[in-house]
Amino acid sequence: MGIIHGLTNLGGSLLTAIVHNKHLSKHSTRATVAAAYATFALFQITTLLMAAQHLDITPLNNLVYLIFAILIYSVSEEAVYISIDNQQYRVLFSIFLLGSGVILIVKSLIF
């Protein structure tokens, strides 16, 4: 799945659905998805480095992305993740997966 994701940027939704279906605790689910996405990122970065002649990415762009990532993580961690229990997490995660699926279907029909 990592190779498929690295070459096509597909597979993330499938991974998330598979992990969600394992009925793990919210901490184990999040850790499993995070580890898998780190593997995906490794394959994708390797693919980009092997395939691209020149990547136009500046350190300033990376810094901006890093700052936004830290802010979003901090807010979501403190405001959402800590305040929900395992059952609420499963329900919210299911709603998120359903919404993502519907958006992908609509997108494929429109474009």
Mean pLDDT by 10 residues, the chain (111 residues): 65 77 88 86 80 74 90 89 89 88 86 75
Q: Strand, helix or coil at 69? A: helix
Number of domains into which the chain is organized: 1
Q: State residue 22 phi and psi, 5-degree precision.
A: -80, -10
For the chain, the residue count is 111
What residues make up the domain containing 29?
A: 2-110
Residue of 49, 16, 50, 22 whose CA lies nearest to 35: 16
Give the separation between CA 109 and CA 104, rounded to whole angstroms.
9
Token pair of 74, please?
């901090």
The pLDDT tens digits for 47-59 are 777 877 666 777 8
